[in-house]
Amino acid sequence: MNTFLSTGTLPDEYQQLAKTVRDFAQSVVAPVAAKHDAEHSFPYEVVAGMAEMGLFGLPFPEEWGGMGGDYFALCLALEELGKVDQSVAITLEAGVSLGAMPVYRFGTEEQKREWLPQLAGGRALGAFGLTEPGGGTDAGATKTTAQLDDGQWVINGSKQFITNSGTDITKLVTVTAVTGERDGKKEISSILVPVPTPGFTAEPAYDKVGWNASDTHPLSFDDVRVPQENLLGERGRGYANFLQILDEGRIAIAALSTGAAQGCVDESVKYAREREAFGQAIGRYQSIAFTIARMEARAHTARTAYYDAAALMLAGKPFKKQAAIAKLVASEAAMDNARDATQIHGGYGFMNEFTVARHYRDSKILEIGEGTTEVQLMLIAREVGL
């Protein structure tokens, strides 16, 4: 195992990456975060900056237009971005982990050649069409269908809550669909749908509680026709393959959540030093100091958990349980810290221009997306033999 991931002593290249993204987050992302949040606008200029830095290509080989790094490098970037703007962080996470990674993991040479350079280069975004209305956590209840007709897949159905699916640079949506029946059960496959394709529609964006600068749409498919060669991976393995993608993605979401939790600590420390009440800085009061201490402990625990899961993943060892633990611990740390940070800030914590207010609204979805808290508990219970 990469023991440095467990000990927290990172090699220079990882430390330099984290510092570079941290500087970008503070100088480029943070100044426009409140504006994009208030306007519910997609931060194209920020995404272009991340693309120029190579962040969308971090875990991919150079031969496919990537940076030749690994998944842990992506996680470090997500943690730094998550400190200041979860919308930007989830745009990167979904673009890499959900948009490009399925093509990299399961695509043919031709599919990789066509899609990976532009996805890894950040010139295009891909989306992951799994969740459906009425399905939610029960992804196996897929109702979207894809039938072969004269060498083409004909897709009909709908998806919901799909990130990066309706931007001006969205070029690909990977869709899970029922392609038949096998052993009395639904045969679920995954199919690449280029954007635009006749019959495919990204419906109007959702009015969300948080992640307001992240692009999220319901999708509809009305006799969408794509070539038979657009099957991604083995026929009938679509659901299983996407579960593998979700296992990896939980480590990334844990990293993002850790960033959010740490961002709440950082903002609270700064505020507690500056804000005075009854003649002294509020950080001198034990109630405030102890609250922030607990927040720091949560962030540290979350970081340790996702480092451990990432180390196992990079070592090629089983990591399903550790990924679920990391996602559980980190998402709860983000939500708990956001609540405490808002309380520490008092009335200012209720104002949307303050980072902690955005974290308060943004963090709840971390306990829901890419597997709810209850799903993580179920996975952990199974892994320990229950």
Residue 120 belongs to domain with CATH number: 1.10.540.10
How many CB atoms sit inside 10 A of residue 208's CB? 15
Using one digit for the tens of pLDDT, what is the confidence trace for 83-116? 999 999 999 999 999 999 999 999 999 999 999 9
For residue 170, give Cα distances in angstroms to 31, 91, 118: 25, 11, 11
Q: Are 251 and 92 in contact (CB under 8 A)?
A: no
Catalytic residue among 62, 248, 370, 383: 370
Told to judge if 93 belongs to the known catalytic residues of this protein, a careful annotator would answer: no
For the chain, how many structural domains are there in total?
3
The amino acid that residue 140 corresponds to is G
Q: Say whether both 185 and 112 belong to one domain.
A: no
Scan for tokens 């948009």, then name that residue.
Answer: 99
Q: Which of 125, 143, 164 is a domain's end point?
A: 125
Mean pLDDT of 361-370: 96
User: pLDDT at residue 7 above 60?
Assistant: no
Using one digit for the tens of pLDDT, what is the confidence trace for 161-216? 999 999 999 999 999 999 999 888 899 999 999 999 999 999 999 999 999 999 99
Using one digit for the tens of pLDDT, what is the confidence trace for 262-319? 999 999 999 999 999 999 999 999 999 999 999 999 999 999 999 999 999 999 999 9
Q: Say whether both 315 and 335 belong to one domain.
A: yes
User: pLDDT at residue 345 above 90?
Assistant: yes
Confidence (pLDDT) at 141: 83
Q: Say whether both 188 and 217 belong to one domain.
A: yes
Task: Give the model's confidence band at 1: pLDDT under 50 very low, under 70 low, under 90 confident, else very high.
Answer: very low
Q: Say whether both 230 and 251 belong to one domain.
A: no
Q: Say whether both 203 and 290 belong to one domain.
A: no
**What distance lies between CA 169 and its chain's CA centroid?**
18
Q: Say whether both 290 and 331 belong to one domain.
A: yes
Mind giving me the DSSP string for 226-287?
Answer: EEGGGEESSTT-HHHHHHHHHHHHHHHHHHHHHHHHHHHHHHHHHHHHH-EETTEEGGGSHH
Confidence (pLDDT) at 138: 72
Domain harbouring 336, CATH code:
1.20.140.10
Q: Which of 260, 252, 214, 248 is nearest to 76 (CA)?
A: 252
Q: How far apart are CA 303 and CA 267, in angstroms?
A: 18
> Range with the lowest mean pLDDT among 23-32, 52-61, 128-137?
128-137
Domain harbouring 199, CATH code:
2.40.110.10
Residue 247's domain comprises 240-383
Using one digit for the tens of pLDDT, what is the confidence trace for 127-147? 999 999 987 667 668 999 999
Write out the E strands in the chain. 125-129, 145-149, 152-163, 170-182, 185-194, 200-202, 216-227, 231-232, 276-277, 280-281
Confidence (pLDDT) at 144: 97
Q: Are 330 and 82 in contact (CB under 8 A)?
A: no
Q: Say whether both 245 and 379 belong to one domain.
A: yes
User: pLDDT at residue 3 above 60?
Assistant: no
Q: Say whether both 66 and 201 belong to one domain.
A: no
Q: Which of 192, 211, 236 is a domain's end point?
A: 236
Q: Say whether both 253 and 279 belong to one domain.
A: yes
Q: Say whether both 253 and 366 belong to one domain.
A: yes
Q: With DSSP H G I counted as helix, E B as strand and the rest as coil, what are the percentages for the chain, rounded to 5?
A: 60, 15, 25
Mean pLDDT of 320-331: 98
Mind giving me the DSSP string for 2-45?
Answer: -HHHHH----HHHHHHHHHHHHHIIIIIHHHHHHHHHHT---HH
Scan for tokens 């306990």, then name that residue.
Answer: 367
Average confidence score pLDDT of the chain = 95
Q: Say whether both 266 and 256 belong to one domain.
A: yes
Q: How far apart are CA 199 and CA 323, in angstroms?
A: 37
Q: How far apart are CA 377 and CA 323, in angstroms?
A: 11
Q: Which of 125, 152, 168 is a domain's end point?
A: 125
Mean pLDDT of 63-79: 96
Confidence (pLDDT) at 353: 85
User: pLDDT at residue 227 above 50?
Assistant: yes
Confidence (pLDDT) at 6: 55
Q: Say whether both 103 and 179 belong to one domain.
A: no
